[in-house]
Structure formats: C-alpha cells, structure tokens
Amino acid sequence: MKQTDQKTAALSYDVTILLPVLLLTGIGIAMVYSASSAIALHDYKNEYYFFNRQLISACLGIIAFLIGRYIPYQMYRRTSYLLFAGAMGLLVVVLLEGMGHQVKGSVRWIEFFYFRFQPVELARFALIVFMGYSITKKQDRIESFTIGFMPHVAVLSLFSVLILLQPDYGSVVLFWMMGWLMMFAGRVSPRQLITTALLVVLPAAVYLIFSSSYRLRRVLSFWNPWQYPKGEGYQVIHSLMGFGSGGLWGKGFGQGYQKLFYLPDPHTDFIFSVIGEEGGLRWVLIVMGLYLIILWRGLNIAKTERDFFGSLLALGITVSITLQAVINMAVNLSLLPTKGLTLPFLSYGGSSLVINLGLMGVLMNIWASQKR
C-alpha cells in the first residue's frame, strides 16, 4: 500500500501550480499573436512569425517542465558548481566579438540556427541553485561575515559585472533582490544585509544612474513622462493610454490600437499594456491573480519543505518569477522606471519561457517530494 502511494505521488501534479502556469502560457501565446501580428507582417511579411516561434518555445518549455518535474531536485545540489561555471562561461561568451547577437544596443543573446538564447536566463537558475546550496552548506557559520555573507555578495557582484556589460540593468536589479531575499531566508545576519544595502548597494545604484545621462533621463521621465513625450517618456505614455482606453471590459481581442506601431515592444516588455487595452481591467486582475496563486503556492511549498536546500530552492524559484512579474507590471503602469524586464510566461521570448517552465517543473518536484 505504501509503495502504491509513493507511485501515485511520483505521478501526481499540484493543480494550484499547474493550472496558473498553463493559463498564463496559453494567454501569452494568444497575446503574443495579437500584439505582434502587425509588426511581424511589416517586418517579416508573415503575421504569424512571432506567434509560431512562441508556440515552438512553449512546446520546448513543456518538455523542460516535465524534465524539471521528474528529475529529483537534490541532483542540483551536486551540480551547483557546474551550473555556476556554465552560466558564467555563457555570460562571457555573449560578450565576445562575433558571438553575441545585438538588439537595440544590447548584446544579450547567443544565436544558433533558428533560435536565440539569452544566457542571463540560465544564470538566474544557476544563481538560485548556487545560493541555495552555499547557504545550506554554511548554516553552522551563516552569521559569520566572511563565510555566510561575503562569498554570496561576491557571487552576486561577479554576475552583475558581466550582465552590466551587456548591458541589462533590469536583470541586475532582479538578481540582487533575489539574492538578498534568499540570504535573509537562509538566516544570514539581517544587520549585515541592511548595512550593506544602505552603505554599498544603494550608493552603487545611485552612481550607475547618475553616471549615464540616458539612465538619468529614464529616472527623471518616470516622475513626469509627459515632460518627455518623444523621448524616454514615450513608452510609458502609450502604455498608460492603452490601459486607459481598455477601461473595464477592454476593446476585445485583436482590437488594440497602441500596438499598431505606437507602443514600442508590445509583444515583449509592454505586453501587459496590450492585455489591459484589449482585455480591460478584468483581464488585468485575472493575470495578477494567477501570479498571486503561484506566489502563494510557491511560498507555501518553501515553508513546509523539510529539506533546507529544497526550501531555499523553492523560495528562489518563486520570487524570481513573481518579482519579475511585479517589476514588469509596475513599469507598464508607470509605478517604476523602465527596466527592460519581460513578463514571465506572457512576453515573447523563447529562452525566458523555456527556463521559467523548467523552473516550475523543479518547484513541482519539490512539492512531490513532500508527499513521499
């Protein structure tokens, strides 16, 4: 009887994780088509160009989900250094001349055959695994500044330097927020975290902003985007116009206006605005609700997991996806300066979709391990 229960647990799925993820992925495929069809027809003479690629990525993502679901998460403990080295290597490769693919001034992709791969997505997973393993291993000395704190800050700094060279400031912000939350949950001294954040991290962020006129204009335009209607405020203005014109019920699928060469990147960074215009407030709240379910379930799994490494892994996965979603939605609503982060499961982007679905599979595996 016990063996039968174990087999049932091995084949079971947590519907409260699976359903929101599948719904978001399905909504994303449909909205990528709606948001990109005009651009695809204009640039590639094929209105299904981005839709087809997103559909293929979703199929690959489902495979990644199943792999993550059935590979025991404990394996990542043994491969944490290999993942770390591989991610670092790819972040270096993308910066080499002739290796990285440039889009809008940023070199973030490695192109091969039909697909472009974004190494920072793998780096996000590698960071979660490495931090979880390292914090777990050092629990007996976790409050030591030189053992429990500095090595993890050094890893975050190393990732940040390579990502800033692309440049990709949004991912750097996400990585530091993830890292700080995992260290806090891993019982690293709160005093060390708060002091370093105030005396080192915050001044470094301010320096990065003021050292570039472009980044400074982005921050200034955040306070009053209408003061820069043809410059840094252009995206946010048209994003807000999309939400405003969508109202409560929306204009209907495919009927949005801002995506027609007014709103830049409607199928990537600003797909949430297209959802707001075509689906209205009701679909905005539905999408937010689905992310909240993932956050609630992921935190619950992290809280109830008896293995500390598994608990930190579940926490890292959960916050990496939901934090990115919150940042993207806040940017679309002009609640944060433009960061360049996509919306998980919804925005166009193959590497992001595949990695995020794979991460959800790992989270499901942690959940299943609790039932054995």
Query: What pairs with residue 112 in β-bridges?
Result: 115
CA distance 20 to 352: 17
Residues 190 and 251 in one domain: no
Query: Which tens digit of pLDDT belongs to each residue from 48-76?
Result: 999 999 999 999 999 999 999 999 999 99
Which residue type is seen at 266?
A: P
* Residues in CB range of 304: below 8 A, 6 or more apart: 370
Domain assignment present for residue 17? The answer is no
Residues 83 and 50 in one domain: no
Residue 3 confidence class, pLDDT cut points 50, 70, 90: low
Q: Residue 359: exposed, middle, or buried by beta-carbon count in 10 A (0-12, 13-18, 19+)? A: buried
**What is the rounded average pLDDT of the residues 324-332?**
95
Residues 369 and 246 in one domain: yes
Domain assignment present for residue 8? The answer is no
Which domain-ending residue is among 189, 211, 233? 211
Residues 346 and 296 in one domain: yes
Contact 123, 178 (CB under 8 A): no
Domain assignment present for residue 7? The answer is no
Residues 207 and 82 in one domain: yes
Residue 106: the pLDDT is 74
Domain assignment present for residue 64? The answer is yes
Whether residue 115 is predicted with pLDDT greater than 50 in this model: the reply is: yes
Domain tally, the chain: 2
**What is the rounded average pLDDT of the residues 196-207?**
90
Residue 249: give the domain boundaries: 23-70+213-372
Residues 87 and 43 in one domain: no
Residue 1 confidence class, pLDDT cut points 50, 70, 90: very low
Considering only residues 341 and 302, tell me which one the structure prediction assigns the higher pLDDT: 302
Residue 196 confidence class, pLDDT cut points 50, 70, 90: very high
CA distance 83 to 97: 24
Residues 136 and 154 in one domain: yes
Residue appearing with tokens 């209105």: 47
Residues 238 and 359 in one domain: yes
CA distance 208 to 190: 25
How high does pLDDT run on average in the chain?
A: 90
The tokens describing 131, both together, are 């931090």
The tokens describing 127, both together, are 């960071």
Residues 66 and 80 in one domain: no
Helix axes 80-93 and 119-137, enclosed angle (nearest 10):
150
Query: Which tens digit of pLDDT belongs to each residue from 232-270?
Result: 788 889 999 999 999 999 999 999 989 988 888 899 999
Residue appearing with tokens 């809280």: 303
Residue 9: the pLDDT is 52
Residues 218 and 353 in one domain: yes
Which domain-ending residue is among 176, 211, 246? 211
Considering only residues 221 and 285, tell me which one the structure prediction assigns the higher pLDDT: 285
What one-character-per-residue DSSP string does 119-137 give?
A: HHHHHHHHHHHHHHHHHHH
Domain assignment present for residue 105? The answer is yes
Domain assignment present for residue 5? The answer is no
**What is the rounded average pLDDT of the residues 308-327?**
96
Domain assignment present for residue 172? The answer is yes
Contact 312, 186 (CB under 8 A): yes
Is residue 109 classed as helix, strand or coil in its secondary structure?
A: strand
Whether residue 148 is predicted with pLDDT greater than 90 in this model: the reply is: yes
Residues 183 and 319 in one domain: no
| Sheet with 100-103: strands ordered across | 100-103, 106-112, 115-117
Domain assignment present for residue 12? The answer is no
CA nearest 369: which of 316, 321, 311?
311
The tokens describing 147, both together, are 């053992």
Residue 18: the pLDDT is 95
**C-alpha distances out from residue 184 to 80, 118, 142, 179, 337, Å:** 20, 28, 11, 9, 26
Residue 7 confidence class, pLDDT cut points 50, 70, 90: low
CA distance 203 to 200: 6
What percent of the chain stands above pLDDT 90? 72
Residue 176: the pLDDT is 95
Which domain-ending residue is among 194, 211, 228? 211
Strands 115-117 and 106-112: antiparallel
* Residues in CB range of 270: below 8 A, 6 or more apart: 235, 239, 242, 263, 264, 332
Strands 100-103 and 115-117: unpaired
**What is the rounded average pLDDT of the residues 82-111?**
84
Whether the model clears a pTM of 0.85, i.e. scores above it, the answer is: yes
Residues 171 and 283 in one domain: no
The tokens describing 129, both together, are 């695994």
